[in-house]
Amino acid sequence: MLRFTGAAASDRGRVRDHNEDSGYAGPGLLVVADGVGGAAAGEVASATAVYVLSALALQGAYADPLAALRSGVRLAQEQVALGVAQDERRAGMATTLTAVLGDGRRFALAHLGDSRAYVWRGSALTRVTRDHTYVQDLVDDGRLTPAEAREHPWRHVVVRSLGGDPAETGDLTWLDVRRGDRVLLCSDGLTDLVDEAAIAAVLAAHRSDDAAVTALVAAANAAGGRDNVTCVLATVVPGVPASPEGVLVGAGRDPRLVVDAAAVHVRRSA
């Protein structure tokens, strides 16, 4: 049996006046959500998405991690749509979502938007998500190089997100992780400013997940801190994931931002 042990950190950066990112790190679940929409309440969307997935995980939705993530994304979509229906000023709010859920044996990945997931194994960093952006589509079509994409003025145009569309469940796949691997989820506040070679150097230099996430956030801020930055980093270790322990960061720490905290009904023992 395998579980996560790790850390999470979120910072508003040096330019933004508030934090629209949310994150969660627990023994069976890791999540990063980067709210989009600014005044349209991106922080409500991200906090709601992270709440839904973390609440489902805490009630023990581990029997099939892939199915649990699919259900969680659908419920989060419903909740974001409900949030807009409750307040028309939230029209257009949405969030990225990158999440890994494990049942002790298998790990599933859900992904929407341009937050990212990486696996660090040995001394190699591998990205396991594809950005859902207009610019990434151009790169895939051979119309831009990756270097050109980093400076493109439309690089932040997200073409798939968690924004209330019940038909959009994102990319759902099994993730190959093993004992000793480290899993990093991060918002684009990190990857826009800190390249993958520098991220790998931080992970190599810091064996402690707490120290590594602190260093990654500091690196993003040192490079300009143009956006909110959230990092969730966990090591895969022996153990059972079904535990109530976990930490929320960013906007996800404020329960007032969640559209409907009663949307997830926690099972009670007889």
Say how many domains are in the chain. Answer: 1
According to DSSP, the residues that pair with 250 across neighbouring strands are 22
Is 270 a domain residue? no
Low-confidence stretches of the chain (pLDDT < 70) are 38-40, 60-62, 241-244, 265-270
Is 84 a domain residue? yes
- The pLDDT value recorded for residue 119 is 98
Is 100 a domain residue? yes
- According to DSSP, the β-strands at 229-238 and 182-186 are antiparallel
Is 110 a domain residue? yes
Residue pair 26/245 in contact by the 8 Å Cβ criterion: yes
| Domain range enclosing 29 | 2-256
Residue pair 162/77 in contact by the 8 Å Cβ criterion: yes
Is 269 a domain residue? no
- The pLDDT value recorded for residue 270 is 31
- Which DSSP string do the residues of the chain spell out, in sequence order? -EEEEEEEEEE-TTT-SS--EEEEE-SSEEEEEEEE-GGGTHHHHHHHHHHHHHHHHHTT--SSHHHHHHHHHHHHHHHHHHHHHH-GGGTT-EE-EEEEEE-SS-EEEEEESS-EEEEEETTEEEE-----BHHHHHHHTTSS-HHHHHH-TTTT-BSS-BSS-TT---EEEEE---TT-EEEEE-HHHHTTS-HHHHHHHHHH--SHHHHHHHHHHHHHHTT--S-EEEEEEEEEES----S--EEEEGGG-GGG-S-GGGS------
pTM for the model:
0.93
- The pLDDT value recorded for residue 196 is 96
Residue with tokens 């207009």: 134
- The pLDDT value recorded for residue 191 is 95
Is 268 a domain residue? no
Is 262 a domain residue? no
- The pLDDT value recorded for residue 100 is 97
pLDDT 10s digits, 16-67: 989 999 999 999 999 999 998 756 689 999 999 999 999 887 776 567 999 9
- The pLDDT value recorded for residue 137 is 81
Is 107 a domain residue? yes
pLDDT above 90 coverage of the chain, percent = 74
- The pLDDT value recorded for residue 268 is 39
Question: What is the CATH number for 64?
Answer: 3.60.40.10
